[in-house]
Structure 1
């Protein structure tokens, strides 16, 4: 099998996480890396034999030996870079979040026009656990009615791009809340958002959103609550789906403890917990969902497969999931902005 040649645009933290997964894949290889300066790109590729360092996104996009690009730029630049890649005939894997649902709609329309794959880089959905839990929802808990997620990483480096509202406008909401909304799409599968209430905390120096909590009401009486940010002093990745006859929980829904990046615990099995009735803790059932490869590696494999199989219906499934996630995220962000405008001195845009 000929490997898919992937180029990475951007040399930040997340690009460094995905590069080894690309290089170790049986279905893809790292062909090139671009940065705004050649020196940064050269430093990045030093550990990846065969990968070429390139200055600027346009030079990478123009390369004939690059079949697909991974857009790992700040959110403010994603649509521009991704649209140029698609226009040039490159398949695109793009970091989340997007700038807005409208931004993603423009990109997805271009991908359809060109007959190309556009996939967002939400990694947890590629772990077998996601499909296994989704497939067993009805059997284990009846009709899903509510979902709660709590996602915190202890983080306070104001020099990091997460604290830069110009490049990452949504702050922790875009960074962490994206996973909560994708879990809503995967496990609740609502059609429309009917009501929303959100609270946000901003960093007093940068104005970046560093914590947010909210509740969303969807069609058919489904609800979701989320609590995300950088301020809890611990890594928390809890998820609970409640149905009409039981609940399912995970305590590592974003990055599994077993092999999610930042974790290497072969003795911790990946799966989910089932509870029903008056079961006490020693009666909870842990359902294992093992995987020989990490969810990031599986994402690269699935991206390559989606390109090769040319299945238009499957491509639409991925596009739809991304759009719905971004729509719900946009609603959260709009609510935060509305509240900020209503309280003098709390809207960062008014300080410019």
Structure 2
């Protein structure tokens, strides 16, 4: 596919190229997590904005995490907040996220709201002195930068809600990738599943403007950020999208990112896959790595990857973990709240992921407008 020529596409490309350059400053300390026997960071008292399915899932993760306490929840309807609070043993229920953000009952907010309203809440939380964990995607790279600026100005941490980045398999891959397969040449990812319910918020173009590209495609972009060498600069983007006939929402898409040195990342995402596919395939000069079900872990919280060196037999590596990635995310957030030196690494990952997402979205829109 060729990259369409379009002013908004060009602006998006320039933004993502700059964001990619920032990635070179990522430090291994961004993945620091307390080791066994070390002193845990102070406990964060969490407030959840929203009472939907993802909020319920993350409530369980907060309760399972060390250095985390589920202290409050807010909903537009007080009855919903009270029911949620009773279900999860939460002390405080609010019918106003503003009131919760400014209360002394919480230290951090998990923002589980639609994308279209997420920035306002994240910024208000930061200005209220609260650490912020925002669901993904964000509205745009500019939105991310406004949120991060508010967090820096108020000396609070920010993190996006991408679980697999926190599992030790990610660190293991990054530490051993070159030794296993040599210089990386390709990251191919799929994140596609079957979602038929048109009443689902993901099909609401006002609340979730990017549809499947923003929802599932976020994971494709994060796979590129985590699996490619840090700091590589983007050179070109190609992307197409598919629309749902009933709602007009972006139902799926695919494309290619080309980086300096000949590195590529190909991707596909969607709400119309049967069967579901969530897979990362990495090629290098001397072999390949497969990560089936890359968003998930096994029942014992371990996660697998398969390495096949050129001319050799595949070898399965199982990376152990005491907790799933969603629980480790809240533990990492407590560490970043306590140690400001850990914050830039997570912020940079959010910027790079969102920048890639913005680029493919604008290119896909331009391709759609031109009839390609």
Larger RCO: 1 or 2 (CA < 8 Å, sep 6+)? 2
Whole-Å Cα distance in 2 between the matches of residues 88 and 318 of structure 1? 21
Name which of 259, 267, 273 aligns with 1:218.
259
SS at match of 1:234: strand
1:59-70 to 2 correspondences below 5 Å:
59-70=99-110
Shift of 1:111: 1.1
Whole-Å Cα distance in 2 between the matches of residues 199 and 341 of structure 1? 11
In the superposition, the TM-score normalised over structure 1's length comes to: 0.91
Instruction: State the Cα deviation string for residues 267-314 of structure 1 (Å, max 9, x = none).
Output: x952210002233xxx21001101121111111111011111232xx2
Are positions 1:174 and 2:214 aligned together? yes
The residue number in structure 1 matching 2:367 is 339
The residue number in structure 2 matching 1:323 is 351
SS at match of 1:119: strand
Are positions 1:191 and 2:191 aligned together? no
Task: Name the Cα RMSD after superposition.
Answer: 1.5
Whole-Å Cα distance in 2 between the matches of residues 138 and 321 of structure 1? 21
Instruction: State the Cα deviation string for residues 5-34 of structure 1 (Å, max 9, x = none).
Output: 000011122111100111222211111111
Are positions 1:236 and 2:277 aligned together? yes
Instruction: State the Cα deviation string for residues 185-216 of structure 1 (Å, max 9, x = none).
Output: 11113532211111211100111111111111
1:6-17 to 2 correspondences below 5 Å:
6-17=46-57
Are positions 1:39 and 2:79 aligned together? yes
Contact kept? 1:190, 1:222, Cα under 8 Å:
no
1:76-155 to 2 correspondences below 5 Å:
76-155=116-195
Whole-Å Cα distance in 2 between the matches of residues 149 and 136 of structure 1? 19
Whole-Å Cα distance in 1 between the matches of residues 136 and 251 of structure 2? 17
1:11-30 to 2 correspondences below 5 Å:
11-30=51-70
1:285-296 to 2 correspondences below 5 Å:
285-296=315-326
Contact kept? 1:190, 1:219, Cα under 8 Å:
no
My pick for the range that moved more, 189-198 or 329-338, is: 189-198
In the superposition, the TM-score normalised over structure 2's length comes to: 0.86
SS at match of 2:272: coil
Whole-Å Cα distance in 2 between the matches of residues 12 and 209 of structure 1? 22
Report the count of equivalent residues: 331
Whole-Å Cα distance in 1 between the matches of residues 47 and 326 of structure 2? 16
Are positions 1:277 and 2:310 aligned together? yes
Shift of 1:155: 0.9
SS at match of 2:256: strand
The residue number in structure 2 matching 1:262 is none
Q: Which runs of 4+ in 1 moved over 4 A?
A: none
Distance 1:83 1:159, change over 3 A: same
Contact kept? 2:240, 2:368, Cα under 8 Å:
no
Shift of 1:341: 2.5
Contact kept? 2:258, 2:264, Cα under 8 Å:
yes
The residue number in structure 2 matching 1:261 is none
